[in-house]
Structure 1
Amino acid sequence: MRILIVGAGEVGSSIAASLADAHEIVVLDIDGERVESLQYAHDVLALTGDGTDLDDLIDAEVERADVVIASTDDDETNLATCGTVKTVSDAFTIARVKNTTYLETWRRHRGAFGADFLVCTDLLAAQAIVRVIDLPTARDVDPFADGSVQMAEFEVPADSPIAGQTVAEADRFDELTFVAVIPDGADCAEVPRGDTLIEGSSRVVVVGQPPSVREFARAIDPDHAVDEVEDAVIVGGSTTGALTAELLAERGITPRIVELDDGRARDLAERVPAATVLSHDATDPEFLAREHVADADVVVATLGSDERSLLVALLAKRAGATRAIAVVEQPRYVDLFETVGVDVAVNPREVTAEEITRFTRERRAENVAIIEPGGAEVLEVEVDDESVLAGRPIRDVVEDLPEGVVVGAITRNGEYVTPRGDTVVEVGDHVVAFVRANALDEVTSKL
């Protein structure tokens, strides 16, 4: 597949890096230094040019592109790029936007702006935050099969009841499959066997029905697990913060929003009437004590500044809050935040890149979640007549697939099927599988 990416910033570069091994990638950006850097770093054709300039698009051979991804940091540039592309190409166009108004317009009129698909960075970040809030102790959560299957990633505390157990010993949950184990410091995820040891500080990735995943979440860290989040504090009235508050309110949770700017606080009170909005500086320890932030089930820092978000998250943890989640604008800071005490760091650009990536898996993947480090993926496919899975038991299929593949879940006519060696996969089934990075190209062509 030939993919043209307009914009070589953090999102565009991340997408290019993840797709370069399997596709023909062309990147167009107005910054010559950025183009040169990308050309040396990855196996891509990088060109200097403007995605809204028809001549530059033609120079990039846009008419040959199967997919065009407009991923600059400017909404209007991305939308104009998609509209320009459609004048000379039948490529599938994807635009990245931050303004939810554009997304709402596009949803009412599919194809508006010349975009076949829109991804909203702030909304995707808010949805990722709320999924993690919904599953206490999880680092990452992604829904599959219309929500009937969940993938969740957990870090195993050193004092966890399952630390030191083998996968076989820990695998005592109905309708749950261990699909990956990532030892502390490892550069890639391992496909677990029954005798794989789960060590403290390692990470595990499981796939299963939501009730079983929740039961596992409680078991992995009983001291910090709560059945339901009741008290959520959002610090920072950014767009992501406001969207997070709205999504929590839809779930029956009354969030508290702390916003320093009085005018913005008033706007938030009108926008999210279910929320309690406080206009104050959240870095004030006396304020945190007075508002009982120590009693909060979760504190979300979305201040738009990585430094301030880190400070607030750490102050909340120090005050006694159960969990702290921070929005991190710079991807390189994600590991740092989690190392120094933030429970989960969410980078909107990484979330956006993951959403866009799923459209490049030969258009067959229903959903994709990227597992770091190593770039492994959990993906969902609908089995058709040409799939190597069709009509065969899973144990027989394994011989035709490369190492590094685990079938984690199956849904059939909306019903969950626990995958076992003798489970026969049928046409029309939705299969959720873990695939290591080095096997992705081969596996996606066979499933």
Structure 2
Amino acid sequence: MRVAIAGAGAVGRSIARELIGNGHEVLLIDKNASSIKPERVPDAEWLLADVCELSSMEEARLDRCDVMICATGDDKANLVASLLAKTEFGVPRTVSRVNHPNNEWLFSESWGVDVNVSTPRIMSALVEEAVAVGDLVRLFTFRQGNANLVEMTLPEDSPFVGRTPREFPLPENCALTTILRQGRVFAPDPDQPVQAGDELLLVVPADLEDEVERLLAPSMHPG
């Protein structure tokens, strides 16, 4: 897979190293000459160019890329780069960094963004996930399916402690995907009971989150 990354700062370079380590081709693009440091990621291609200019994107040959990652520290630049990649060059998948939480609503399909990654939202979700028991914590939004990846640490008084995933009466279009227990990751076994303190990862439509939260922890969320 060939991936273009707009923004060759610390974030862009870290993403590039990870992708290259997984066997992908990476092109790093930045308009600031001081950010062009090929020795930092020697296996990547580098381009000094402005991702907001159509001519620069033509030079980058975005039409040959499978994914465009917009990882600059400027939300306006990330939006423009996503839109150009999607509408002018037909890049199949765009992922864009959101720097300011007030701008998150802009990062949608109308601006060519398939997936937005909000640093403030991720950090707050990780804090909640680390300390909350019995609360549903939204970790990630899937734009394509209007669903969210959510997490709940199962409280001791949950009616599902000691019951199997087969017995979970989850609403339609909801799915239990992963169980984390004592540092280990398990695929849900339909016949293996869950335990108090298990971290459940579920895919849930946004409009059903409250229902699932009440279902799994009714004493904490009386409805």
Structure 1-normalised TM-score? 0.39
Aligned to 1:437: 210
Aligned to 2:162: 391
Q: Secondary structure at the match of 1:436?
A: helix
1:414 Cα shift?
5.7
1:265 Cα shift?
0.2
Correspondent of 1:300 among 69, 72, 75: 69
Q: Secondary structure at the match of 2:31?
A: coil
Relative to structure 1, the CA distance from residue 430 to residue 284 in structure 2 (aligned partners, 3 Å threshold; closer, same or farther) is: closer
Correspondent of 2:3 among 208, 232, 247: 232
Correspondent of 1:332 among 102, 108, 117: 102
Distance between the aligned counterparts of 2:173 and 2:4, measured in 1?
39
Distance between the aligned counterparts of 2:126 and 2:168, measured in 1?
28
Q: In the alignment, is residue 344 of structure 1 matched against residue 112 of structure 2? A: no
Q: Secondary structure at the match of 2:23?
A: coil
Q: In the alignment, is residue 319 of structure 1 matched against residue 89 of structure 2? A: yes
Distance between the aligned counterparts of 2:209 and 2:8, measured in 1?
38
For the Cα contact (< 8 Å) 1:410–1:418, is it kept in 2? Answer: no
Relative to structure 1, the CA distance from residue 445 to residue 270 in structure 2 (aligned partners, 3 Å threshold; closer, same or farther) is: farther
Aligned to 1:378: 150
Identity within the alignment, %: 20
Residue 378 of structure 1 aligns with an amino acid whose one-letter code is: V
Distance between the aligned counterparts of 1:261 and 1:370, measured in 2?
31
CA deviation map 1:349-394 (0-9, x unaligned): 11111111112313x88x862659xx9772254797x653343355
Residue 342 of structure 1 aligns with an amino acid whose one-letter code is: V
Aligned to 2:32: 261
CA deviation map 1:327-358 (0-9, x unaligned): 12222333323123222222211111111111
1:258 Cα shift?
0.8
For the Cα contact (< 8 Å) 1:288–1:294, is it kept in 2? Answer: no
1:298 Cα shift?
0.9
Distance between the aligned counterparts of 1:342 and 1:414, measured in 2?
31
Relative to structure 1, the CA distance from residue 446 to residue 248 in structure 2 (aligned partners, 3 Å threshold; closer, same or farther) is: farther
Structure 1: runs of 5+ lacking an equivalent: 1-229
Distance between the aligned counterparts of 1:341 and 1:298, measured in 2?
12
Q: Secondary structure at the match of 2:63?
A: helix
For the Cα contact (< 8 Å) 2:165–2:188, is it kept in 1? Answer: no
Distance between the aligned counterparts of 1:320 and 1:407, measured in 2?
32
Relative to structure 1, the CA distance from residue 249 to residue 439 in structure 2 (aligned partners, 3 Å threshold; closer, same or farther) is: same
Residue 151 of structure 2 aligns with an amino acid whose one-letter code is: L
Relative to structure 1, the CA distance from residue 417 to residue 324 in structure 2 (aligned partners, 3 Å threshold; closer, same or farther) is: closer
Aligned to 1:156: none
For the Cα contact (< 8 Å) 2:30–2:36, is it kept in 1? Answer: yes
Q: Secondary structure at the match of 1:359?
A: helix
CA deviation map 1:278-320 (0-9, x unaligned): 1222333233223311111011122221222222222222123
Correspondent of 2:60 among 281, 286, 291: 291
1:253 Cα shift?
1.5
Distance between the aligned counterparts of 2:115 and 2:178, measured in 1?
29
Higher relative contact order (CA 8 A, sep 6+): 2
Larger fraction in helix: 1
Matches within 5 A, 1:45-444: 230-266=1-37, 269-317=38-86, 318-338=88-108, 339-362=110-133, 369=139, 378-381=150-153, 388-394=159-165, 398=169, 408-409=176-177, 416-417=187-188, 419=190, 423=191, 425-427=193-195, 431-433=200-202, 434=204, 436-437=209-210, 440=213, 443-444=216-217
Q: Secondary structure at the match of 2:107?
A: helix
Relative to structure 1, the CA distance from residue 393 to residue 348 in structure 2 (aligned partners, 3 Å threshold; closer, same or farther) is: closer
